[in-house]
Chains A and B, each alone.
Chain A
């Protein structure tokens, strides 16, 4: 008896149908066999054989059942090609959008570098930082100087390898094997760069310590080799002539290698030692203790020695770094200044994912979009689930018959699940293909300069598979619940009017539709918020007109101009540009709005006592004559900077309104003095004017700022931006201006020439994309909800044809019937809207930091979202309501 029970429990290995059919027989046969066994060992043999057999036959039986279910499901799906196509297509789009966004998030935020053992890498700098800063930094160091890197490399003793690399790419004009000059993206890397990352060259070799200090060698990327050198085998030995020297290509990196920064793709790596050749005009490799200003521009990445923990490494690195700072800042003018300079720390962090030029700008928008796409998929699944439920309801009779004939409820649910899984799998496959296209499209929309390698990453495929499975389960939930409730006898009884099943479907369908409304509302409101943010950003008052304003950046340091000669050059260049036909007004400055760079230092303001750390410093710029009149920035008090503020004239400055408000609240600033302080450096200027605020770096805010004449510099600029008001289209003037600059000196590189509109647009590109895509997702969600509503109401009206007919026969007008249906819709909608607004309120705080000029609870966005939903719902309800109103009482009653 016990043996029989034990064997019976073994039979749970078999699928239910098989177990139900043959279980009892098998137990009987097994018991008889056991009884017939002679002795204990024979009984043990029977047991062993039986267990082994169960374990080998059970999988075959499962396979058989799945095969049968799949065959049945395929037949069912083929019988309704319209439904199947709609279901597969909508899932493909939903899954595709999610997978495309996830794949981008994976590339931007999650993926590790394609280098040797990336999890062993540690980074001493901030992965999201890039650029060059001359001066100092307080608190955590974002980047390092070359000498700091050398000290850390040589003195810490915790790194097996430590490398430094330029944190940004340099666009350089190069003659390849003597051809015409062309632009490449170059990056300086220390000798340890390739050994630290542990990636050998595909062809030739990479450079390293063995190459000596002055080896004019270069390593090129696979993409550059393919694009520019046609993948020729003799590319090794190619000569790259640039700026101050000619380099020989000694190696080509493998195709997957893009360096240490996600989103960048350098063409050529040059040895760091040759910085004066590649970036001439300034020594970026040595900190000058006389100035106390450091060139901070490098990322540093290392591999820890075996056995060294992160904490040990951090402690050793901090000690060496602090020692270096103390030695360097020993000559600080005051103890207070010295303490501030010493308040700089390096922080170590895992560097498996590398540095990133795109993580900060795209991480959050992509996550927002993925959340939106996830909601859309959920709404689409709800719609399809509703359709599946309707089908299951239509099949109630069949279900009941099968139950009555002895089929298990579990079997029926499994078949339903197989069907929905098949739909989901087809949708998933098509979705992955769609994702590939969508990803390429998204990247093209965002930027042409961001390059993210596309591989069939296991994480992305796993995400796609997971999403497909979830979608499959979601589709099956409603019909499966329905099947749980079907009585074996109910469906058979259900004929004509006794539509209990249909009534149940209608109830569930209504709940689903209300849920869809609730889910689509956050999408609509969110889209409204993002669109209005984008509009606000586009319309933001810059403080000057952006019309017909062209900015041209000229790098004079690279061209080899020594500091004393630069001011005269600026004036000559300005004069030449001013004479170009089509130029109405012009000026120049060290930095310009939205061109990237900026400067700022500690300030001492006459008659002002510091209140805290926020009013310690101010941004400043060097400007040429007539800067404000060229830009059209109103002068509120005093005068602007003109020709008469030359080098030997009294030193003057113009402050903006924000500066006046912070430092001269309630006082007349004209004639007062502002002193810039950096280390021992002090420059005092007399305020001669106050100008209106204008935007400089960010569309979202304008800080305080003062402007000094370029002829009376704090630091002599190494490049200038010539700003031009043109008579016609700005880009039409570019060629003439380039010619004018080349006429002064053909070696002067024009590194950028863009209209203000282009610069502003590039700042709003991500917001624009976010607005467009969120609108797209919102509209899709709205349509899906409308289709769901239409389906449920149509069905409801069809069910009530006779009731409506009787009402009309009893004298109800068409209007009354329409009103009745619309009232039902209103209740349905009201429930969804209340839940939706609640959902929106909870979720939209997440995008608060992206909003500009409005709050998450923006009444316009909420109103528009609810109104859009209302209008679409009304249309979706109107069609079935009108059909109901036109019911002919006679036909309806005859139908009875």
Chain B
């Protein structure tokens, strides 16, 4: 059964939490707490996702087909059966990339107008 996905552009702009989750899953599959840790680490603690926001977002991303739940742990050393692991789907990756492009374009517009220095 193939599922039809909408044009990624229609989902933009993504909520901040959503984008962070997709970025956290871009390089590897993770379980929930690992996603929270990754986001905190990457943002130097500026963005901290709580469990409620995380799983509410995960529920929506799963429904939208941006994430998928993995049947088994991606880490052969850690086979905790109770843990649930999530990975980004192809469509999720497309959406994340579209959002990244959108943000880049906004950033360059800000540069053009001199709001931020051209070289940082």
Chain A interface residues (CB < 8 Å from chain B):
18, 21-22, 24-30, 32-33, 46, 49-50, 52-54, 56-58, 60-61, 64
Interface size on B, residues (CB 8 A): 17
Q: Given A25-B32, A29-B32, A29-B33: A49 and B48 within 8 A (CB)?
A: yes
Q: Let me know if B84 and A25 touch, CB within 8 A.
A: yes
- Inter-chain CA distance A26–B59, complex, in Å, is 12
12 extra A-B contacts, CB within 8 A, seeds A54-B50, A61-B56: A21-B59, A24-B82, A28-B32, A28-B82, A29-B36, A30-B50, A33-B36, A33-B50, A50-B50, A50-B52, A53-B51, A61-B59
Q: Let me know if B55 and A25 touch, CB within 8 A.
A: yes
The residue in chain B whose Cβ has the minimal distance to the Cβ of A10 is: B52
- Inter-chain CA distance A22–B55, complex, in Å, is 7
The residue in chain B whose Cβ has the minimal distance to the Cβ of A26 is: B51
Q: List 25 A-B contacts (CB under 8 A).
A: A18-B56, A21-B59, A22-B59, A24-B82, A25-B55, A26-B51, A26-B52, A26-B55, A28-B82, A28-B83, A29-B33, A29-B36, A29-B55, A30-B50, A30-B51, A33-B33, A33-B50, A49-B50, A50-B51, A50-B52, A53-B51, A57-B53, A58-B52, A61-B59, A64-B60
Residues of A within 8 A of B88 (CB): none
- Inter-chain CA distance A64–B32, complex, in Å, is 21
B109 nearest CB across to chain A (Å): 31
B14 sits at the interface (CB 8 A): no
- Inter-chain CA distance A25–B59, complex, in Å, is 12
Residues of B within 8 A of A22 (CB): 55, 58-59
Q: Let me know if B56 and A29 touch, CB within 8 A.
A: no
Task: Please report which residues of chain B, range 44-65, place their CB below 8 angstroms from some CB of chain A when the two chains form the complex.
Answer: 48, 50-56, 58-60
Q: Let me know if B51 and A33 touch, CB within 8 A.
A: yes
Residues of A within 8 A of B84 (CB): 25
Residues of B within 8 A of A30 (CB): 50-51
Q: Which of A28, A52, A58 has the most CB of B within 10 A?
A: A28
- The residue that A60 contacts in the complex, of B36, B48, B50, B56, with Cβ under 8 A, is B56
Q: Let me know if A32 and B52 touch, CB within 8 A.
A: no
- Inter-chain CA distance A841–B8, complex, in Å, is 70
Q: Interface of chain B, helix or strand or loop or mixed?
A: helix
The residue in chain A whose Cβ has the minimal distance to the Cβ of B54 is: A29
Chain B interface residues (CB < 8 Å from chain A):
32-33, 36, 48, 50-56, 58-60, 82-84
B51 nearest CB across to chain A (Å): 4
- Inter-chain CA distance A24–B82, complex, in Å, is 9
Residues of B within 8 A of A33 (CB): 33, 36, 50-51
Q: Let me know if A57 and B33 touch, CB within 8 A.
A: no
Q: Given A29-B33, A33-B36: A53 and B50 within 8 A (CB)?
A: yes
- Inter-chain CA distance A22–B83, complex, in Å, is 11
Residues of B within 8 A of A26 (CB): 32, 51-52, 54-55
Residues of B within 8 A of A58 (CB): 52
A767 nearest CB across to chain B (Å): 63
- The residue that A57 contacts in the complex, of B32, B52, B82, B83, with Cβ under 8 A, is B52
Total A-B residue contacts, Cβ distance less than 8 Å = 59
Q: Which of A22, A58, A61 has the most CB of B within 10 A?
A: A22
- Inter-chain CA distance A732–B53, complex, in Å, is 86
Residues of A within 8 A of B56 (CB): 18, 57, 60-61
Q: Given A18-B59, A21-B59, A25-B84: A53 and B52 within 8 A (CB)?
A: yes
The residue in chain A whose Cβ has the minimal distance to the Cβ of B57 is: A57
- Inter-chain CA distance A25–B62, complex, in Å, is 15
Residues of B within 8 A of A24 (CB): 82
B54 nearest CB across to chain A (Å): 7
Residues of B within 8 A of A18 (CB): 55-56, 59
Q: Which of B48, B50, B53 has the most CB of A within 10 A?
A: B50
- Inter-chain CA distance A64–B56, complex, in Å, is 10
A895 nearest CB across to chain B (Å): 37
- Inter-chain CA distance A54–B55, complex, in Å, is 11
Residues of B within 8 A of A25 (CB): 32, 51, 55, 83-84
Residues of A within 8 A of B52 (CB): 26, 50, 53-54, 56-58
A58 nearest CB across to chain B (Å): 8
Q: Let me know if B59 and A29 touch, CB within 8 A.
A: no
Q: Which of B33, B52, B60 has the most CB of A within 10 A?
A: B52
B82 nearest CB across to chain A (Å): 7
- Inter-chain CA distance A836–B56, complex, in Å, is 54
- The residue that A32 contacts in the complex, of B33, B50, B59, B60, with Cβ under 8 A, is B33
- Inter-chain CA distance A574–B13, complex, in Å, is 95
- Inter-chain CA distance A141–B50, complex, in Å, is 74
Q: Let me know if A53 and B33 touch, CB within 8 A.
A: no
B18 nearest CB across to chain A (Å): 13
- Inter-chain CA distance A33–B49, complex, in Å, is 10
The residue in chain B whose Cβ has the minimal distance to the Cβ of A49 is: B50
A828 nearest CB across to chain B (Å): 49
The residue in chain A whose Cβ has the minimal distance to the Cβ of B60 is: A64
- Inter-chain CA distance A33–B32, complex, in Å, is 11
Residues of A within 8 A of B82 (CB): 24, 28
Residues of B within 8 A of A56 (CB): 52
Residues of B within 8 A of A53 (CB): 50-53
- Inter-chain CA distance A60–B60, complex, in Å, is 11
- Inter-chain CA distance A841–B58, complex, in Å, is 62
B33 nearest CB across to chain A (Å): 4
Residues of A within 8 A of B36 (CB): 29, 33
A370 nearest CB across to chain B (Å): 47
- Inter-chain CA distance A251–B36, complex, in Å, is 74
- Inter-chain CA distance A18–B60, complex, in Å, is 11
Residues of B within 8 A of A27 (CB): 51
A20 nearest CB across to chain B (Å): 12
Q: Which of A27, A29, A30 has the most CB of B within 10 A?
A: A29
- Inter-chain CA distance A33–B38, complex, in Å, is 12
- Inter-chain CA distance A53–B60, complex, in Å, is 16
Residues of B within 8 A of A49 (CB): 48, 50
Residues of A within 8 A of B55 (CB): 18, 22, 25-26, 29
The residue in chain B whose Cβ has the minimal distance to the Cβ of A22 is: B55
B70 nearest CB across to chain A (Å): 14
- Inter-chain CA distance A21–B86, complex, in Å, is 14
